[in-house]
Amino acid sequence: MGEKSLFINIARIMWGFDIQKPAGVDWEILDPEEGGLNVPKPANVIIRPRSAKHEAVLRKEWADARKEGLHYNPAPRAVFPKAAL
């Protein structure tokens, strides 16, 4: 169940957002942090809705999730900086 949930969430992120690296930033994606867990190092990224249509769907879904109590707190202001969610 966890694997399917992870797949669905990643697919939704890939559908709705354009994820890019900033100009002039050299990513070492496969250079992991040292320690007990092998995780990638933090990287600078630019995350934006893919289009105005995608943003409208994302905002509607976010509003619906808030009504049902399924939202995360705080809201993702870096992704939607123009309006309060």
Give which of 44, 55, 56, 43 is closest to 79, Cα–Cα.
55
At residue 57, the pLDDT reads 94
In angstroms and rounded to an integer, the radius of gyration of the C-alpha atoms of the chain is: 16
Asked if residues 18 and 48 have their Cβ atoms less than 8 Å apart, the reply is: yes
User: For 9-38, what is the mean pLDDT?
Assistant: 79
Tell me the per-residue pLDDT of 29-83, one tens digit each, with 9 for 90 and over: 656 666 666 666 677 888 999 999 999 999 998 888 888 877 666 555 565 566 5
Domain ranges in the chain are: 2-50
